Amino acid sequence: MSTTTAQQEQAFRALDAFAIELPSWGFANTGTRFGKFIQAAAAGTTAEKFADAGQVHRFTGCCPSVAVHILWDFPEGLSGVEPLRAVAAEHGVAIGSINPNVFQDQQYKYGSFGNPSEAVRAEALRHVMDSIAIQRAAGSRDLSLWFADGTNFPGSGSIRQRKQWFTEGLRAAHGALSGDMRMLVEYKPFEPAFYHTDIADWGMALLLARAAGPRAKVLVDTGHHYQSQNIEQIVAWLLDEDMLGGFHFNDRRYADDDLTLGSIDPYQVFRIFHEICYFAWERGAAPDIAYMVDQSHNLKNKIEEMIQTAMNAQELYLKAALVDHAALAAAQTRAELIDAEEILRAAFFTDVRPLLREWRQTRGLAPEPLTAFRASGYLERITEARAGRNRDALSSYA
């Protein structure tokens, strides 16, 4: 690929500004609803998760933070924050978004913020408040809220009443935020609730976020939509309303498959990034959006898939950043349909890998992250150290 100096500078600025957060749970043993699949090298402690995440950032240069789940990563509560901050710093990363867990415990069988039991609703709010305390102590900006609440059968609950309970709970949580802290409200049309989900789409999340307060924004999970839904249109509308707070990136073929980012429909991921870059070009400033990964790493090696994901994200974001926005705007104004589409296609089909290799080398990174990681010997070392424990876990699980 032949690029001008101006294009290279534009590409390097885009790559310097791009960061995508890794999920701690993506490094642990996970599975499907039918079973858990054990990997010999999987992380068994939060410290190991951060060590593995540090490897991804070391080789890609774009994953400086790690999202955490409160029940899974802070079993000791607030007292675990400082030790984990030290571990994170040791591995060159930081604690990222805070994810409360109000879907796992038995008391949430009929919901959390939408539970008909006042006592359960109060317990869910207490957990979220505890999570906000951890968020503040960790120096984390974003509280990421996903709720499994809903019903499976008509008549099982009052949809309007549950909406009101959610509004009350989110307002109360919002009131505990301070400084630059934000709360991101996620949505999902189904699973595990199959008749109605309390926050089922972006419009519901938008209304609840606005009702909660000015620190609340919408979080878009790219797997949380019906088949063939135009996600980039949702992104464009949320951008225009100044309500797009963040993403959970993954890919899907059927429903919420949580596959590797860009593995099924890279053009869609490109189109999403394009809407963001186009918005930034028009406004003269990039929107404040948190990019996060939320995938299942059940079959692929976990660290390698994370590196693959980060590389895919960098490539697709860079393609979107290199769209000729001035030419696109002019073609759209003149209703030159083919020309406008070809401008997008030209950027999407550009091979940006040479530019990425150049950027990595100038930033002191290996030009080929996956190759460099495999040559580092890290995977062999942790496999040897963790294999026995994971074999024991497999035996007890079986």
Residue 167 pLDDT > 90, yes or no?
Answer: yes
User: Range with the lowest mean pLDDT among 25-34, 58-67, 286-295?
Assistant: 25-34
Q: What CATH number is given for 5-397 in this structure? A: 3.20.20.150
pLDDT computed for residue 397 by the predictor: 53
Give the separation between CA 291 and CA 142, rounded to whole angstroms. Answer: 11
Residue 2 pLDDT > 70, yes or no?
Answer: no
Residue 319 pLDDT > 60, yes or no?
Answer: yes
pLDDT computed for residue 47 by the predictor: 97
pLDDT tens, residue by residue, 201-252:
999 999 999 999 999 999 999 999 999 999 999 999 999 999 999 999 999 9
pLDDT computed for residue 35 by the predictor: 78
User: Range with the lowest mean pLDDT among 34-48, 174-188, 353-367?
Assistant: 34-48
What average pLDDT does this structure show over 247-267?
A: 96
Residue 395 pLDDT > 70, yes or no?
Answer: no
> pLDDT averaged over the chain?
96
User: So where are the chain's domains?
Assistant: 5-397
Helix/strand/coil for 239: helix
Q: How many CB atoms lie within 10 A of CB 211?
A: 17
Give the separation between CA 128 and CA 363, rounded to whole angstroms. Answer: 39
What average pLDDT does this structure show over 257-265?
A: 96
Residue 398 pLDDT > 60, yes or no?
Answer: no
Give the separation between CA 186 and CA 174, rounded to whole angstroms. Answer: 15
User: Range with the lowest mean pLDDT among 20-24, 179-183, 295-299?
Assistant: 295-299
Task: With beta carbons less than 8 A apart as the criterion, state whether 156 and 112 touch.
Answer: no
Per DSSP, 181 falls in state -
What average pLDDT does this structure show over 281-305?
A: 95
Residue 92 belongs to what H/E stretch? none
Contacts of 197 (CB under 8 A, 6+ apart): 149, 150, 187, 188, 189, 190
Helix/strand/coil for 40: coil
pLDDT above 70 coverage of the chain, percent: 98
User: Range with the lowest mean pLDDT among 190-199, 256-265, 389-398?
Assistant: 389-398
Per DSSP, 139 falls in state T
Torsion angle of C-alpha atoms 193, 195, 198, 203, degrees rounded to 10: 120
pLDDT computed for residue 1 by the predictor: 42
Q: CB-side exposure of 147: number of CA atoms within 13 Å? A: 32
Of residues 393 and 300, the one with the higher pLDDT is 300
pLDDT computed for residue 34 by the predictor: 76
Residue 305 pLDDT > 60, yes or no?
Answer: yes
